Amino acid sequence: MKNLIVAIDGPAGSGKSTIAKLLAKKYDLTYIDTGAMYRMITLYLLENNIDINDLKEVERVLNTVNLDMQGDKFYLDNVDVSTKIREKRINDNVSKVASIKIVRSNLVDLQRKISNNKDVILDGRDVGTVIFPNAQVKIFLIASPEERARRRYNEFLEKKTEITYDEVLKSIKERDHIDSTRDESPFVKADDAIELDSTNLTIEEVINFISKEIEKAKWTTHD
Ligand code: CDP
């Protein structure tokens, strides 16, 4: 009996986390938000004024800091940082941190470890290409940059963050560029991933589409 692994990769604002959370509930899967881990490391480096070019120091941080996830809550050295990791300053720096080789290898190890022996759904940039190339379901969820910026802008408005739509669009495009052109496991579609464009789809439509893939895959795992 094999465990089920569902990989949802996609750019900022494509709807990955909303969709992954709903599917986790529907199919009783453990949800792992891989981006949150890069965000937590970024927060630690920023708050402790650590130069990201000082790789010895970055490595020391990776070996000492404790990352913990419980449902929607994220703990950095036992402190709840769930709100802080979504701040603009993290968005502005996370892609630089995520392009550091040692950061990636350390977090990929952790992501595999916490997925071990569980039925899981993970969202991120390299789930289907690097973390779990053998995932039974691989979705590459995309949407136009304008639609993604609109979604992110609305999230910022709800949190009362002062930011304009144009700033959000610019930051999303910058992150897309850094993520997809970095040397270490760049953000690309896995050859066998199914591409789904959510620009004009409702959440329910996306859920229905991916549900069919999960149900097909369940036959080859648990039954
Ligand atoms: O939610 P959003 O798509 O804005 O971002 P996220 O999934 O929280 O990821 C934040 C950043 O972490 C991304 O822009 C990537 O630079 C990095 N990341 C990555 O490199 N690999 C992953 N598996 C997940 C995130």
Q: Would you call 202 helix, strand, or coil by DSSP?
A: coil
Amino acid making up residue 86: R
What is the CB neighbour count within 10 angstroms for residue 190? 19
Answer for the pair 67, 76: CB distance below 8 angstroms, yes or no.
yes
Predicted confidence (pLDDT) per residue in 118-177, tens digit? 999 999 999 999 999 999 999 999 999 999 999 999 999 998 989 999 999 999 999 999
Q: Whose CA is nearest to atom 25 of ligand 1?
A: 35
**Is the pTM here over 0.85, yes or no?**
yes
Q: Counting Cβ atoms within 10 Å, is residue 52 exposed (0-12), middle (13-18) or buried (19+)?
A: middle
Instruction: Provide the mean pLDDT of the chain.
Output: 95
Distance (Å) from CA 219 to ligand 1 centroid: 31
Q: Whose CA is nearest to atom 3 of ligand 1?
A: 12
Q: Is 33 left (phi over 0), alpha (psi -120 to 50) or beta?
A: beta
